[in-house]
Structure 1
Amino acid sequence: MSASCPVCNLTLPLPQIQSHVNSHFDYEDEIDPQIANDHYLALQLASEPSSSSSSTLNETPFHNPLVKIIPFHQNDTVASLLRSQTKSPFYRVGNNGLIHLLKTCLDSKSKPLESNTSLLSSYTDHYQSTKEDKGWGCGWRNIQMQCSHLLSRDNDFKRVLFGGSNFVPDIPSLQRWLELAWKSGFDVSGGLHFDNKVYGCKKWIGTTECAALLRSFGVRARVVDFAPKESRSMYLSVPGSVGAPKRRGYGPMDRYVVKKGESGKEKSGCSSSRIGKGAVLMDWVWNYFSDNRLNVSSGVHLTNKGPLYFQHEGHSRTIVGIQRRLQGTTFTPQYNLLILDPADFTRGIEKALVDKRGWEGYLKRGAHTLTCPEYQILYVDNGIAVGEELEQLKTIDAHFVEF
């Protein structure tokens, strides 16, 4: 027996209808009718026989790029994933979110005569690691932070991400979406490093995997490499896989993970001799949040920019802003990154920001802390790719910035 959902009119088996209806009310915002329609269309396409799918696909003006790029023999997989994906639990900070609390805290420390400027991303939720993913899940948590921002941004992202579900999925669901992205031709070489399987596994992932997952929905995810000049050839050695090393084939994250017991390497994998590289990365992050504007007034500014997925050895975090102080007669800039770490507890961050005490220890990181030999950053451009551009997104290349 089956029944129709009273919210979106989707027909589902009777045992599934209650949980489906409840899912419409798991989040505060009312579901967009267009989102419900796109979700319905995706499911309808997946349930149609392959003989009729081709003409339907060409004649129907679908808004979800994922539906267009999934091979027809995988339609059942898409439909199953759309039905089974689960919303990730997380701690919601206040009514206006964590970024608003951070802005309030920064505003309270600003002094009229100081040349201090803070630039913040727009809305982003913090997703903390739990005991289930401690030690390996930071990459997935940063994907969740990135998606929380995208889903708050505009209806285009809501429409395409995760079949129009309008929520951030949990790690197992994200793992299945990544496997589907690989099977659909996104970062094929990267997928081979994982044998095209991450579901149910405690495997490290990084910016490349985040890019593949987001690009499979038409999201214009871009990767930037920060490394010495001699590292450039290593990034270009494996087409379609940004982080894959030239001589070793352990996977895209291999160059960012320090193996225990390796000779000749520090435990942290970082070198204090490369401290000067911090200025290069800080300048790039400042230009990103300031939109390359030369003159930005003092104070705290909420930008329209999204957060940055920030990868380095053994860990990844999310950059949600940057501070700049102009010092001395030469007005030399001193920077601090504002970073959310999946390893921190959200309640602890919230309390520190509300109390306006101890929050710097959670969020602020100066240039002197950027001592790792290489970094990667992922950011998202506006708009949704379709057609030929979507095909081009299957190959993940990176912009190289030399230290």
Structure 2
Amino acid sequence: MSETSCPVCNLTLPLSQIESHVNAHFDEDEINPQIASDHHLALQLASSSDPSPSSSNFDDSLGLHNKVATLVRLQTKSQFYSVGNGGLICLLKTCLEYELKSKSKPLECSISLLSGYVDHFHSSKEDKGWGCGWKNIQMQCSHLLTHREEEVKRVLFGGSNFVPDIPSLQRWLEIAWSKGFDVSGAQHFDSQICGSKRWIGTTECAALLRSFGLKARIVDFAPKKSESLYLSVPGSAIAPKIKPRGPMDRYVTKKVENGAKKPVDSHGSSSSRISKGVVLMDWVWNYFSENRLNVSSGVHMTSKAPLYFQHEGHSRTIVGIQRRLQGTTFTTQYNLLILDPADFTKAIEKALVEKRGWEGYLKRGAHTLKCPEYQMLYVDNGIADGEELEQLKIIDSHFVEF
């Protein structure tokens, strides 16, 4: 079947469909070509009008191998606001160095650790309220494609060497489920996510990345009593050896077995919030510093990937951490360095370039960690295969007590 590319969005289609597809871009005066492309792709991915493996339509009757081959060809690159001057992380590094030099009272010691290059994917009106999980997957993958070994580029998204849009990522997750990754999570979503606006989180990110052989790990931060509270709640990833299934579900379910509301304890107080924040901050610091005790003052680029940071109602991407030792007692103060999908990339870039107001976008201290529980996802080095890959199909988590 003869095919050609759309002159608006570059999507490859059969000649018989190209005219109606191109016309659809201009049905509305102010339509965004990328939105039109994403919408059309979502429809295509759900279509089964032509079972031929060479068809541009994704057919659910195809075998798994042919589904993968078709999606590799059909997936679309996600559009994002591209930042010059080395990207946002490079601009952030410059601001942190400027801050270090310009304080009226020099800091006794300030150390900032950053991941390498990360593209920022901000939410749009089309995915507002449900798309943050996908945006954080895109940010994580933008780093992996830039900084990991060539083998990662070869296996991730079929060697496309780009970050796909949300409809394509949704199909990749369905394929991960078909391969047996996170069976319970697949059942929770009825093995279907394409075209859906349902929340996803670290569990789905782990399943998707692990299906390519990447060693995605989940860490839970919560009070110890959460083990008993959440053992029977769908979506629990709190206790060690408990398999997470749809991590946002447990945030929606607020009751324990007897129907009573979850009790409020001292972890809600200001002092305990700071205390549990320090536990989380210490973990993040050890992650980026690779547990080295002696890290010299200044701003350092590390080899570590960013962290997918999940909490109640939202998720963000941690791209680094700042530690200050202040005063005669050398009190430790931490700031997480975060990219939020809810913020517009252009606004962050402007604040970093002008060195004004960037802290409000990117810095978060321990006192801001007010949620009862948090989840982190990180990606270890290397590609799993054989028995190790089989083990990755079961998604568990490491528990860290506040």
Q: TM-score, normalised by structure 1?
A: 0.77
Structure 1 residues 251 and 286: alpha-carbon distance in aligned structure 2, compared to 1, 3 A threshold: closer
Partner of 2:66: 76
Partner of 2:108: 114
Structure 2 residue matching 1:110: 3-state secondary structure: helix
How many residue pairs are counted as aligned between the two chains? 339
- How far did residue 272 of structure 1 move? 4.1
Range 320-329 or range 228-237, more displaced: 228-237
Partner of 2:156: 161
- Residue 378 of structure 1 pairs with residue 372 of structure 2: no
- How far did residue 265 of structure 1 move? 8.1
- 1:146 is matched with which residue: 131, 140, 146? 140
Partner of 2:93: 103
Structure 2 residue matching 1:368: 3-state secondary structure: helix
Partner of 1:194: 189
Partner of 2:299: 300
1:1-400 matches, within 5 Å, as 15=15, 73-111=63-101, 114-153=108-147, 154-233=149-228, 242=237, 251-257=246-252, 271-273=268-270, 274-275=272-273, 276-400=275-399
Matched AA of 2:187: L
- How far did residue 232 of structure 1 move? 2.6
8 Å CA contact 2:111–2:324 kept in 1: the answer is yes
Cα distance between partner residues in 2 of 1:401 and 1:349? 32
Cα distance between partner residues in 1 of 2:364 and 2:214? 29
8 Å CA contact 1:193–1:252 kept in 2: the answer is no
Structure 2 residue matching 1:335: 3-state secondary structure: strand
- How far did residue 155 of structure 1 move? 1.2
- How far did residue 209 of structure 1 move? 0.4
Root-mean-square deviation over aligned CA pairs: 3.2
Matched AA of 2:391: Q
Cα distance between partner residues in 2 of 1:143 and 1:277? 26
8 Å CA contact 1:220–1:385 kept in 2: the answer is yes
Matched AA of 2:217: R
Cα distance between partner residues in 2 of 1:373 and 1:195? 29
Matched AA of 2:210: R
8 Å CA contact 2:234–2:249 kept in 1: the answer is no
Kindly, what percent of the aligned residue pairs are identical? 74
Structure 2 residue matching 1:128: 3-state secondary structure: coil
Matched AA of 1:122: G
Cα distance between partner residues in 2 of 1:309 and 1:197? 23
Cα distance between partner residues in 1 of 2:178 and 2:127? 25
8 Å CA contact 2:235–2:250 kept in 1: the answer is no
Cα distance between partner residues in 1 of 2:293 and 2:89? 24
Cα distance between partner residues in 1 of 2:191 and 2:236? 13
5+ unaligned residues in a row in structure 1: which ranges?
5-11, 19-45, 49-71
Matched AA of 2:131: G
Cα distance between partner residues in 1 of 2:63 and 2:139? 32
